[in-house]
Chain A
Amino acid sequence: MKEALKIARKELLTYVREERILLMVLMPLVILPLLMNLPFLLLGHYYQQAENKQQVIAIKGVPQELQHLLQRAKFVVQHSQNPRQAVQERQADVGMVYAEGRYTIFDRNSILNQQRSVATERTREVLQQYKEQVLLERLQSHGLELADLEPFAIEIQKTISEQQQALGLLAMLIPFAVVGLVISGGQAVALEATVGEKEKATIEALLSAPVAPWKLLLGKGLAVVVAALFSAFASMAGFALGNVFVRHNFSTQIEALPTDIRVQMGAWALTSTDLATIFFTSVLFAFFVTSVMLALGIFARTYREANTYLSPLEMLMLIPFLLFAFSDYVQVQDWFFAMPGLGVVVAIDTIVKGSYSPWQLGLTWASTLAYGLLVLFFAFRNFSREDVVFRN
């Protein structure tokens, strides 16, 4: 066991020496959170500015009463022969024309932008207010109230769990991130510890040392598992810390965001039990991935060969992601939970959504462990066979 730890330590040291340590820390803790949050912050900043700014509205044919309402809503009202052109030429933030019983609002945003501009939204609100005012006057002349026009209310509610709603985009991202980062995080160490030793011929000195093959494998495996889990959970920490940091320091920008965008941004809403369950699932997955990589790494003669084997496997791993992207239309079956890789994705997905069942989780855990042990057996067999280790 002591030897295995020494071996693991050396593998990690070699890995860290490759000047990857900076990337290993910067990537999950700085770059990822930045990429996640910067768009929201910029958008929030823009909305905030737009809200405080006096908006210019170009109008034509608009009645006096509505003009007053617009002014009260902090609009600078400009009369124009062609409000549409005024908006196009950026002389006004929004335009409004009244003709033949129809109000037309001219929005400035490009066709690619799904959102309407802040000025447009505000104009619409004013117009709605004016409409209700006119309506009320007419109703009252007939002895009716506004409420008489709405005999019942309509509401649409999402059935997804509160936790999933609270997590927003994070709910979608976490299963991707954990599975993807466990794979990519372990790979460099696994290859360095296997084909790397072959290419540098250090494997001869290693194998002629009085250390049992299973201890060598254990040491190397330990290093790969640690690197894989570090990569996945440093990123999770990055998501969580980034989210908390942004919410704490940029609350005004976030408040300024329209509700639907704010919901997307999400908040770190995982309980510690969820985290522990995800961690345990990831440990098993990392064990499986490590076995696969060591088995292939020992079999391959060169880095290039190892990559030839690993690339299609990684492509296979993308299939769950595809399925996952269509999750609104695919009915998740129990057997999904027993598939290698796919099981882990759906399992973590259910944990995140707060809708997991012990039976399904157990299926994923047991199957992942079984696959891992099976592949480990091959890795071990490869490792003790000279015609594999010294393939020429």
Chain B
Amino acid sequence: MLTLNTTQTQLAIEVSNLKKVFRKRDGLRGPIKEEWALKGVSFYVQEGETYGLLGPNGSGKSTLIRILSTLLTADGGTVRMLGYQLPEDETRLRRKMGRVSVDAAFYKKLSPRENLLYAAQLYGLEPRQAEKRAMQILEQLGLESRRFSDPIEEMSRGMQQKISIARALLINPPLLLLDEPTTGLDPKSRRDVQAFLEDLRAREGTTILLTTHDMAEAERLAHRIGFLAHGRLVAEGTAEELKRRAGTPDLEEAFIALTGEELDEEADSL
């Protein structure tokens, strides 16, 4: 079982009562529909801790990550990260966060090298050092360096995802936000990425917030896990705690039990 060295007590992420609504108009003149993607989410992540967010499609995982990475602004609640407040300190926070999203998004006509150097320049890094660091990371992730200059559009999704992780780590961030980083990867690549994250955490003490659909991944990587359903955090704890609470032998059944229909309705009526 994963345990965190609890001599560090500072919080890296502190989210309280976070809310987000998307407004959409039905047609040209229709009424404005409100869709609450987050209905008051509160949780914290300690420094050096890895927190796993599990939730079905549309539960608000990506929205949460987007708010933390300053792409969206919350409609309620507070976010504190690394001692900074959102949205006031967003520029300072951006320099300290790396983010990887499900779809490794790149400029397809450019090579991985050019993509990474472009990202490095946006963060004001020295190109030569950034390149050296990128090469190291890609090697650790098991990507052959001779492919470094091929156009990215010729690469498989797995390779692209690894490059995307390298991009997030260029700035050596103390905080890493990972939105389904291993979705769509083959088992070998998935294990490469997971091993890399474990190694990174051990070496650098990086704090990681991770969303995933993969129970095994959550159990392997996350110190604590939160179940998100319909924009609410419905359960939280270590994998053992969650299984115990649901009375089930594995995490997947605990997930189904704890995010099931009755629980949703109960949560909604609160």
Contacts and interface: CB of A to CB of B under 8 A. Distances in A.
Contacts of A7: 122
Interface in B145-181: 151, 167
B114 interface: yes
A18 interface: yes
Nearest to B70: A208
A386 B22 CA distance: 11
Contact of A3 (B73, B108, B121): B121
Nearest to A7: B122
A10 B121 CA distance: 11
A206 B71 CA distance: 10
A101 interface: no
A209 B73 CA distance: 15
Contact of B94 (A6, A210, A386): A210
Interface string B56-91: 000000000010011111000000000000000001
Contact of A208 (B92, B94, B106, B107): B94
B121 A13 contact: no
Interface string B220-245: 00000000000000000000000000
Interface string B118-133: 1101111000000000
A204 interface: yes
Given A6-B122, A205-B99, A390 B107 contact: no
A102 interface: no
A141 B63 CA distance: 109
B123 A210 contact: yes
B123 A209 contact: yes
A332 interface: no
Contacts of B119: 205, 209
A110 interface: no
B167 A205 contact: yes
Nearest to B95: A210
A142 interface: no
Contact of B23 (A201, A207, A387): A387
B122 A386 contact: no
Instruction: Label chain A's interface by main secondary structure.
Output: helix
B191 interface: no
B105 interface: yes
A208 B99 contact: yes
A72 interface: no
Nearest to B107: A14
Contacts of A201: 101, 103, 105
A14 B110 CA distance: 7
B109 interface: yes
Contacts of A104: none
A386 B105 CA distance: 19
Contacts of A10: 107, 110, 114, 118
Contacts of A204: 66, 69, 71, 99, 101, 105
Contacts of A207: 70-71
A205 B94 contact: no
A73 to B, nearest CB: 66
Listed residue (A10, A207, A208, A209) with the most chain B CB atoms within 10 angstroms of its CB: A208
Contacts of B105: 200-202, 204-205
A350 B71 CA distance: 49
A61 to B, nearest CB: 76
A211 to B, nearest CB: 5
A17 B123 contact: no
A18 B110 CA distance: 10
A392 interface: yes
A209 B94 contact: yes
Nearest to B104: A201
Contacts of A212: 91
Contacts of A208: 69-71, 94, 97, 99
Contact of B72 (A200, A202, A209, A390): A390
Nearest to A17: B109
A340 to B, nearest CB: 27
A211 B123 CA distance: 8
Interface string A11-22: 001100110000
A390 B107 CA distance: 19
A390 B123 contact: no
Interface string A57-93: 0000000000000000000000000000000000000
Given A3-B124, A202-B107, A205-B105, 10 more contacts: A3-B122, A10-B110, A10-B114, A10-B118, A17-B109, A18-B109, A202-B105, A205-B119, A208-B71, A209-B123
22 contacts: A3-B121, A6-B118, A13-B109, A18-B109, A200-B105, A200-B106, A200-B108, A201-B101, A201-B103, A202-B107, A207-B70, A209-B119, A209-B123, A210-B91, A210-B122, A210-B123, A211-B122, A386-B72, A387-B23, A390-B71, A390-B72, A392-B24
The 10 tightest CB contacts between A and B, nearest first, are A17-B109, A201-B105, A209-B122, A210-B94, A202-B105, A6-B121, A208-B69, A210-B95, A14-B109, A10-B118
